[in-house]
């Protein structure tokens, strides 16, 4: 059973978060092990499994990044070691990567801030471009091409997160970026 089925909600990149939380809390009460201490061992085991599933499902679906990855894996679009970034994107990232290399040898606040701003701008542009495909996604009727667009966004976003992590190594101690 996938996490969306568990919560009885449709597969969506943007689920109703308040509804998701309500379903999680309802399941938390229903499957809390403390309420089943007098039940037979098999039932206690089943309740514990469902309680664990409830927590894992909620932690995944409540977090945009985790939900995105989960849906792509669920639909078989995101495969281990078979995900490549387009060369145009990698070329676009070259300036930022060169700035990171410069920062390693000689920290410059302006270069640092510029690289950080470029990464944030690119990430915002990517989200703006993919959001319509994500919002219009309907499980079972949307094409694989629409999921490939989302996969491309996910891979680029993950790459940008690594760039931000590298940039954070150079952040002034009191102003780290998250």
Contact call for residues 156 and 172 (beta carbons, < 8 A):
no
Digit-coded pLDDT (tens) for 41-86:
777 778 789 999 999 999 999 999 999 999 999 999 988 767 788 8
Q: Do the Cβ atoms of 32 and 40 come closer than 8 Å?
A: no
- Helix (H, G, I), strand (E, B), or coil: what is residue 127? helix
161-170: per-residue pLDDT in tens?
Answer: 999 998 888 7
Scanning the chain, the segments in alpha helix (DSSP H) are 3-7, 17-30, 41-61, 64-74, 87-105, 109-135, 144-168
pLDDT of residue 175: 47
**Nearby residues of 166 by Cβ (< 8 Å), 6 or more positions away:** 100
Q: What pLDDT digit, counting tens, does each position of 18-31 carry?
A: 999 999 999 999 98
pLDDT tens sequence across 72-83: 999 999 887 677
């Amino acid at each position: 059973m996938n996490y969306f089925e568990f919560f009885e909600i449709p597969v969506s990149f943007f689920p109703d978060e308040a509804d998701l939380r309500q379903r999680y809390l309802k399941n938390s009460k229903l499957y809390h092990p403390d309420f089943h201490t007098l039940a037979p061992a098999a039932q206690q085991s089943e309740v514990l499994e469902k309680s664990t599933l409830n927590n894992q499902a909620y932690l995944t679906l409540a977090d945009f990044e985790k939900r995105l990855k989960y849906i792509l894996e669920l639909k078989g679009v995101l495969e281990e070691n078979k995900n490549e970034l387009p060369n145009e994107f990698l070329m676009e990232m070259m300036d930022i990567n060169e700035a990171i290399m410069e920062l390693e040898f000689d920290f410059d606040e302006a270069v640092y801030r510029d690289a950080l701003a470029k990464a944030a701008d690119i990430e915002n542009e990517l989200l703006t471009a993919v959001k319509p495909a994500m919002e219009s996604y309907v499980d079972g009727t949307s094409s694989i091409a629409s999921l490939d667009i989302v996969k491309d966004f996910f891979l680029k976003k993950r790459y940008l997160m690594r760039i931000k992590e590298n940039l954070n190594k150079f952040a002034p101690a009191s102003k780290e970026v998250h």
